[in-house]
Structure 1
Amino acid sequence: MKCIKIYPKVKLYLVKNEGVGGFGCKHPFCFLVYGHPNLQKKYYFANQKACRATNFIGMSKKRMKFRNFFGAAILLKAAFGIFCCMLMPSLVGVSQTEYPFKHLTINQGLSNNQINCMFRDSKGFMWFGTASGLNRYDGNGFKIFTHSDTDATSIIENSIIDIQEDYQENLWVNTGAGLSIFFPETEKFIFPINPYLSSLGFTDSLVLVFIDHQKNFWLTNNQQECFNYSGEENKWQKVEAFSGKTITDFFHYDHWVYAVFTDGQIVAVNTESLEGEPAINIPLLTGGSSVNSFNIYVDTDQDIWLFQETNPIGAFYFSSRGKKWHHLTNSAGCKFPLSSNTVKDIVEDTQKLIWIATDHGGINVINKSIENVVYLENNPKDPRSLAEKSIMCLYCDSESILWAGTYKYGISYYSESIFKFNHIRFNVSGLEAEFDNDINNFQEDLEGNLWIGSNNKGLIRIDNVTKKQMLFQHNPNNPQSISNNVVVSLTCDRKGRIWAGTYQGGLNCYDGGRFIHYRNQANNANSIASDLVWDIVEDNQGNLWIATLGGGIDCFDVQTGFFKHHTSQTHPGLASDYVLCIQETKEKNLLLGTAHGVSIYYPKTGTFQIIQGNFSGTKPLTNRNVLSVYEDSRGLIWVGTRGGLNIINPKNDDLILLNEESGIADNVICGILEDDQKNIWIST
């Protein structure tokens, strides 16, 4: 994140769409604050390929929008990145109800798409153990460590099984050929590790090593003995409670280290006293095979989860509150039905949800509090779905990012901060295949329904309650249909009528049952000045102001049906007849963005004033082709041009420029919006 100081106590924060936590919307052209009182509010962003929405808390019910100008073309066909310019305080995010993922594969630099294990070290690097090498990820790229026959300090084998970190920040990397130790300072490996263990005081034949959260070691030998080693104290202690039987897995939670044995027995040892608690047995498996290889996980409720990676037995869940075991399978009758009986890994996220990785069943997300299971699988039509159904491992890091390693398709990772914008997919019957999701604008009506203007498919209405989508398209045989399918501008007046400005189709009014058309008529001076309607604003008197391309700006008296024209010839203060955007100011004047600068209309006098920079004219605009104008709550005038963002302060007649050199993604500023937290959002 980059911070630019504009004025004292006014800072601009630039957030680009890149890396973990990016917005994921690259080509926005319009947005709208949408919502109802006492409900979560939404931002809607549109581009040429998708419609997205995001929730934020505390926004009032009001209409804010912007659109692009494309001259003779229908839309600006430019691939610009989105950035968000935020004036303090920052936005408050609201959690999403679905799980959109980002992905990392060999296309981003992974050595192999099969992910066997994952780990985040104390420096913040993510480590991925693959079928062909150890990968270190810094958020931007990978560094790969592989075996070399000519380098004795390389990793012993490329198939990585497990990764742990000790008290000296060295990595203990288990491979198909045995355990190696990686030293980050030199980026060298040692193998075999017996000399290193001997230097620590462990001379037995090592069977299993576990490093807990406090960086203490728990090691077992071939005589079924377990030892605890504190590196900071250089102290060894035998753990009697863990000795005498074969341990297959350890887990550390709070002040306890849990061990599970091959017979399904579990023992918990206090990390300070090394005293054990009475064993817990699995009734369903008691008396069964004594060579089971169990994996164990303990969640924040101290509930215990057991599974076997290679055995399709489902999972065993012990409720510490109910003191009862539950056997979870794909049977519909169990407490939490699984999508597959082959469980590969289990983790808990920061929301206390239990994520279960399965083979050929995707991920099962269990909410114990409401006894619900959400099943996550790959959807070939959704690039933000889970990469595939075969999940090898899971990891929840310190920043609440949930990482999922797959068998053939690399890594999928999820966090609420990754995507602020959820897709709204149009499913209008019969048009799914041909609807290209090219969106121009949004409008909320008085009932909270969302209206969406498309670039060539007509007007869409999404019911606020039922979420049903309705499409309005031009029908040459129906004079009451919308006049044109390219909907460039939208507004809802105080009576609830929807006004739609079109490209070459004039102005439309939808009264709930039909569309009324207002077209330019060469022999009618009271008709609209142009059929290219670029913006519509209702002023405080209930008049509609119509921005047109080539016809100046019209004031429409809804009662009489007459349009009053204002052009650069009749009103010299109007900078151009190509008017792209309108905003009414707090003083009830109109800010107009035109192809040749900014004009201000003063209704009290009926006059216009041209603004080509600051008011004294000592600092010009960087570009006169104005695509967006906005007056914020501070009285600052934001002018978006093809040459950057200009901020005019009328109080001191200052003008500040922000452009690519300042950190903005692109100099073409398509739209500007302020939220209730006084954050300024910019689209490029």
Structure 2
Amino acid sequence: MKSLLVVISLFCFKLLHAQSYNYQHYDVSNGLSGLTVYKIIQDREGFMWFATETGLSRFDGTNFKNFSTADGLPDNEIIDLSIDSKGRMWILPFTNAICYYKDGLFHNQKNDSLLARISLISEPTNIAEGENGELIILDRRQIVIVTPEKKLRIINRLENHLISPYGAVLVENNTISVPVAYGVEHAKFSFLNISEDSFYLSPPEDARQYIWTTSLTSLLKPSLKIFQVGKFLKILQKGKKSYVTVPDNMLGFDLLNDSMLFVNCSDKVLLYNFYQHQYTDTFLLNKVVTNSFLDSEGSYWFATNGYGVYRLASTAFVNYNFVVGGNLLPVYSIAKSNQKLYVGTNRGKVWDINLINNSISANVEVSSPGENRITGIAFYDAKTIVASSSLESLCIFENGKKTRLIKGASGKDLYYDKDQILISTIVGVYKLKFGETISDPAFLTTRTTCSIFFQNDYFIGTLKGLFRTKETNIKDSIFLGEKFPLLTSRISALAKTNHSIWVATYGNGIIEFDGEKILSHYTQANGLSSNMCRDIFVSGGKLWVGTDKGLNEIDLTLNKISNKYTTKDGLSSDIINCIYVENDSVFVGTPYGLTFFSPNAIDKKSIAVLNVNKIASKDSVWLAYADSFTLKPSDNKFYIDYACVSFKSNGNIHYYYRLVGLDNEWHNTKETSINYPSLPPGNYQFQLYAVNAFGKKSNEVKISFSIESFFYQKAWFLTIVCILGILIVWYFVSRRIKKIRAEQNDKLRTQKRLTELEQLAFRAQMNPHFIFNCLNSIQQYIFSKSALEANKFITDFSSLIRQTLDLSAKKNISLAEEIRYISTYLSLEHTRFDKSFDYSINIDGNLNTEEIFLPPLLMQPFVENAIRHGIRNLNNREGVINIDFSLAGDYLVYQLTDNGIGIEGSLKLRGKNVIEHQSKGMTLIQKRIEALNEESSKSIEMAIDYLDISQKKGTKVILRLPVYI
């Protein structure tokens, strides 16, 4: 195994030169403006430009953009291109005019005042730049020099003779040297040396042998000068002189770098190496090449006469062609033995490639009419085993002798493992052990596509899916698709590692299976180039997958797709029929032959240069990058056209963008334009960058722009509108508030009046109640006392009545009035009950009874209850009633205590004597307090409890009244 890599490394030079490369071809079907291309150049932004016979083309790696006279070119046939130090691309058309391209615009003699002053006699042949910024323009009859001060200097005669510049220009030591012919019929040849204020001639040695046609056959640089002298190229490099033989059909040459030179011929391109002093490679056979170019990614470009443009991305890919009768044969199987690679093609042929001397020869042939594909190759000792799609399905070749083992089965795949060979056919799987004969298929007698031996079991692929057969019982097969739906697809190939088998399907990607469960699954969704897999190969921790859209390399240690290869990288076709890999050598069979490459030899250098082609709004267009601008309110569209130049990416470029001010999230697209049709006023920044197929990030584009507001969206207008709105709202709200307040005041007045009426009603209820009780007492008093005492009682009673009537008419009375009233009432009751109780009224010294006001007749009902329901029913002791007035903060505290029978005892007596008049005083006073609380911010508080809680004797009443009432 290791010897193969050594041999390939030693003889890679011969192998590469013996075979052809695979080129990417561009013509009018891809968008190129013409098939005849004269010049290729790459500008500072990375774009490739092509001068053609029918216009100018620019290529970004994905799309072509073509320019013609309608865009500003003086003529549609463009002969040459060059770029100066200011980034201007000078365009030399096939007419006596000149123009240049910069920042998206063509500057010509109609729209540029400087160019309008330049009058050419014939078509221009070259444009060069002097050391001091001079512009040197040559046509076939004159030299035009444009100074940095934009002055014109024209040289068209020498010694009274017309001159004919040859198109080459040398700028060295502040001198411009131009090879010219002059004299009668231009017989003389010399260098015309032009300084700032003079010019002179300096004929070179062997001048008459020089062949001067155009700048294509001469190169003049300070460190390198190349002339065609006869059949040689004379090279003067760093003071050393050398000669190179050139073919008779040379059209010109192009310098790639300081070490390599392309020699363009009418049937090929030769690569000359200055250091090796020899031609080292040949490109593009049988094409007329007019210009060759090396781009910044290391790709070779070739302009042709009549066939468009060819690009060679890498010389690491080499193609082997197998031709019979002028027909290129497709490759279907690859195998290796010793230092030979065996290749099975159509027409029943097996070819061998000697990896030492790089020779190709036909090895064996399976005779059969029709196409007859060689579907498998294996080796055993000195025997070559070949499976084919012909009637002779399996043959063994030994010493030129063919032995046919299977006939009429049409082999689809051949698997060799240790001492057995499995051949999958349209009638089942045959099992061959050397020394034994084959009669019938060993197992699964149906159409099979491939088979493999893994962990003592046979796994067989069919059009229906994957089957499993035990080695101990090959008569019975298990269809794995019943348990694993992924294994119901058409199986195209099988391969194995130590722990699993890999199943290639024709429509469902790649599946890893260990015999019991599915371990992994690769499809287009997770990076596979196509779900249509045709072949797989395991080598060195890598799984190689051939699809109908290229080759995939899967790193099994990292479980990811690490690389993809297509025709754009160098493969001869994207349809991969078969694969063979050993060490760092990859061989791929396609419908167009065999391709060899070494992944480590591929130059993965790439560029990712992001350019803005156009920015547009509704009313304006910018044909180049504009980092900031302002748009009118109605001009609120933002459109941008862009491209990332990365030729090796072959269009596989992802763009990431966002519009800050509208959306801060990054979005991903493969489109090369973005359109925001209608944006609201505001400040925005559009941000964009690209990532090429190799993961390289481009430069980031940032475009800041503003969209102005309409006058009705501006701050001053909105401020005025807001102020007016606030005033209008304030006006209507204030009117509403006034109305609500008026309605509220009316409600309050009504409520107050109702409360007052309610108070009067309560007092009106209390007055007859009190009078009734007093009259009842007088009646009892008359019956039990003398007339004289009754008369006195009536006099006192009439005084109490007058006080009651007087006080009840008032809304509020003073505390002094309330105390006098209670004293009169207590005195009267004390007399009526034969002085059977004692009473006292105590007033805190801090109280000013004349300045404290309270509702009238509020305290009398509590005194009445104390007498009638408390002390009246005492049998063995005298009653005592104490009334205390005190001040607690903002409250007047009225406390009444009696030593009567208590609340519970009073209730028992009431229950026994149902005919006794039930006092309504407490009910009325409670309702009155509730009414007073509704119209006051501070409430009247009332509490009634036993005087002696443990014995439930006596009663204590506490009344707290706000002092301002």
Structures share fold, TM-score greater than 0.5: yes
1:492 aligns with 2:356: no
Letter in 1 for 2:399: G
Partner of 2:252: helix, strand, or coil?
A: strand
Match of 2:101 in 1: 182
Match of 1:557 in 2: 433
1:467 aligns with 2:467: no
Partner of 2:76: helix, strand, or coil?
A: coil
- Which of 222, 245, 252 is equivalent to 1:344? 252
Asked whether the 8 Å contact 1:118–1:393 carries over to 2, the reply is yes
Partner of 1:493: helix, strand, or coil?
A: strand
1:355 aligns with 2:219: no
Letter in 2 for 1:195: S
Q: Distance in 2 between matches of 1:353 and 1:612?
A: 59
Letter in 2 for 1:164: S
Q: Distance in 2 between matches of 1:644 and 1:407?
A: 45
Asked whether the 8 Å contact 1:403–1:411 carries over to 2, the reply is yes
Letter in 2 for 1:440: Y
- Which of 244, 267, 285 is equivalent to 1:385? 285
Distance of aligned partners of 1:354 and 1:657 in 2 relative to their CA distance in 1, 3 Å threshold: same
Match of 1:595 in 2: 463
Match of 1:502 in 2: 388
Partner of 1:177: helix, strand, or coil?
A: coil
Q: Distance in 2 between matches of 1:122 and 1:221?
A: 22
Letter in 2 for 1:179: I
Alpha-carbon shift at residue 494 of structure 1 (Å)? 4.0
Alpha-carbon shift at residue 136 of structure 1 (Å)? 1.4
Distance of aligned partners of 1:258 and 1:661 in 2 relative to their CA distance in 1, 3 Å threshold: farther
Alpha-carbon shift at residue 603 of structure 1 (Å)? 4.9
Partner of 2:235: helix, strand, or coil?
A: strand
Letter in 1 for 2:168: D
- Which of 306, 317, 327 is equivalent to 2:227? 306
Q: Distance in 1 between matches of 2:398 and 2:209?
A: 75
Match of 1:323 in 2: 240
Can you list the C-alpha shifts for 1:49-88, whole angstroms capped at 9, x where unaligned?
A: xxxxx989xxxxxxxxxxxxxxxxxxxxxxxxxxxxxxxx
TM-score using structure 1 length: 0.61
Q: Distance in 2 between matches of 1:95 and 1:444?
A: 22
Match of 2:508 in 1: 644
Q: Distance in 1 between matches of 2:410 and 2:211?
A: 79
Asked whether the 8 Å contact 1:346–1:394 carries over to 2, the reply is yes
Q: Distance in 1 between matches of 2:212 and 2:509?
A: 71
Distance of aligned partners of 1:488 and 1:194 in 2 relative to their CA distance in 1, 3 Å threshold: closer
1:627 aligns with 2:492: yes
Asked whether the 8 Å contact 1:147–1:157 carries over to 2, the reply is yes
- Which of 327, 336, 344 is equivalent to 1:453? 344
Q: Distance in 2 between matches of 1:543 and 1:364?
A: 50
- Which of 400, 414, 429 is equivalent to 1:513? 400
Partner of 1:106: helix, strand, or coil?
A: coil
Query: If each structure's helix is expressed as a fraction of its own residues, which one has the higher value?
Result: 2
- Which of 438, 447, 452 is equivalent to 1:578? 447
Asked whether the 8 Å contact 1:453–1:488 carries over to 2, the reply is yes
Q: Distance in 2 between matches of 1:99 and 1:556?
A: 40
Q: Distance in 2 between matches of 1:35 and 1:484?
A: 38
Match of 2:410 in 1: 532
Alpha-carbon shift at residue 566 of structure 1 (Å)? 3.7
Alpha-carbon shift at residue 349 of structure 1 (Å)? 5.7
Structure ranking higher on relative contact order (CA contacts 8 Å, 6+ apart): 1
- Which of 432, 436, 440 is equivalent to 2:325? 432
Alignment of 1:267-278 (within 5 A): none
Letter in 2 for 1:344: G
Can you list the C-alpha shifts for 1:216-274, whole angstroms capped at 9, x where unaligned?
A: 84424899896886xxxxx99999xxxx9989534699x999854436549999xxxx9
Match of 1:407 in 2: 305
Letter in 1 for 2:443: T
Match of 1:423 in 2: 320
Letter in 2 for 1:629: L
Q: Distance in 1 between matches of 2:458 and 2:147?
A: 75
Q: Distance in 1 between matches of 2:100 and 2:108?
A: 5
Distance of aligned partners of 1:298 and 1:559 in 2 relative to their CA distance in 1, 3 Å threshold: farther
Partner of 1:108: helix, strand, or coil?
A: coil
Match of 2:135 in 1: 219
Partner of 1:621: helix, strand, or coil?
A: helix
* Greater gyration radius: 2
Match of 1:39 in 2: 7
Can you list the C-alpha shifts for 1:403-460, whole angstroms capped at 9, x where unaligned?
A: 232333333333425x83413233xxxx525x562443233234x3343334444444
Distance of aligned partners of 1:543 and 1:40 in 2 relative to their CA distance in 1, 3 Å threshold: same
Asked whether the 8 Å contact 2:427–2:441 carries over to 1, the reply is no
Match of 2:76 in 1: 158
Asked whether the 8 Å contact 1:459–1:487 carries over to 2, the reply is no
Q: Distance in 1 between matches of 2:440 and 2:533?
A: 30
Alpha-carbon shift at residue 626 of structure 1 (Å)? 1.0
Letter in 1 for 2:320: H
Alpha-carbon shift at residue 493 of structure 1 (Å)? 3.1
Match of 2:420 in 1: 543
Asked whether the 8 Å contact 2:500–2:512 carries over to 1, the reply is yes
Alpha-carbon shift at residue 656 of structure 1 (Å)? 4.8
Distance of aligned partners of 1:317 and 1:228 in 2 relative to their CA distance in 1, 3 Å threshold: farther
Alpha-carbon shift at residue 682 of structure 1 (Å)? 1.9
Q: Distance in 1 between matches of 2:227 and 2:437?
A: 74
Can you list the C-alpha shifts for 1:523-564, whole angstroms capped at 9, x where unaligned?
A: xxxxxxx73333332323x1222323223x333221333568
Alignment of 1:111-190 (within 5 A): 111-148=33-70, 154-166=72-84, 169-175=87-93, 176-185=95-104, 187-190=105-108
Q: Distance in 2 between matches of 1:291 and 1:577?
A: 72
Asked whether the 8 Å contact 2:480–2:487 carries over to 1, the reply is no
Alpha-carbon shift at residue 285 of structure 1 (Å)? 0.7
- Which of 135, 145, 168 is equivalent to 1:249? 168
Alignment of 1:188-199 (within 5 A): 188-192=106-110, 195=113
Q: Distance in 1 between matches of 2:30 and 2:311?
A: 14
Partner of 1:640: helix, strand, or coil?
A: strand
Alpha-carbon shift at residue 323 of structure 1 (Å)? 2.8
Alpha-carbon shift at residue 304 of structure 1 (Å)? 1.9
Q: Distance in 2 between matches of 1:55 and 1:256?
A: 47
Asked whether the 8 Å contact 2:529–2:547 carries over to 1, the reply is no
Distance of aligned partners of 1:129 and 1:610 in 2 relative to their CA distance in 1, 3 Å threshold: same
Structure 1: gaps spanning 5 or more residues: 1-32, 43-53, 57-92, 230-234, 327-334, 378-383, 476-481, 521-529, 569-575
Can you list the C-alpha shifts for 1:161-206, whole angstroms capped at 9, x where unaligned?
A: 3323355644322222322132344x444434753579xxxx9989
Can you list the C-alpha shifts for 1:499-540, whole angstroms capped at 9, x where unaligned?
A: 1123332421111231122236xxxxxxxxx73333332323
Can you list the C-alpha shifts for 1:15-58, whole angstroms capped at 9, x where unaligned?
A: xxxxxxxxxxxxxxxxxx9982512289xxxxxxxxxxx989xx
Asked whether the 8 Å contact 2:322–2:328 carries over to 1, the reply is no
Match of 1:4 in 2: none
Alignment of 1:606-617 (within 5 A): 610=478, 612=480, 617=483
Letter in 2 for 1:537: Y
Partner of 1:112: helix, strand, or coil?
A: coil
Letter in 2 for 1:131: E
Asked whether the 8 Å contact 1:101–1:385 carries over to 2, the reply is no
Distance of aligned partners of 1:652 and 1:514 in 2 relative to their CA distance in 1, 3 Å threshold: closer
Partner of 2:113: helix, strand, or coil?
A: helix
Q: Distance in 2 between matches of 1:596 and 1:188?
A: 62
Letter in 2 for 1:305: I
Asked whether the 8 Å contact 2:210–2:227 carries over to 1, the reply is no
Distance of aligned partners of 1:670 and 1:284 in 2 relative to their CA distance in 1, 3 Å threshold: same
Asked whether the 8 Å contact 2:346–2:371 carries over to 1, the reply is yes
Alpha-carbon shift at residue 154 of structure 1 (Å)? 1.8
Partner of 2:255: helix, strand, or coil?
A: strand
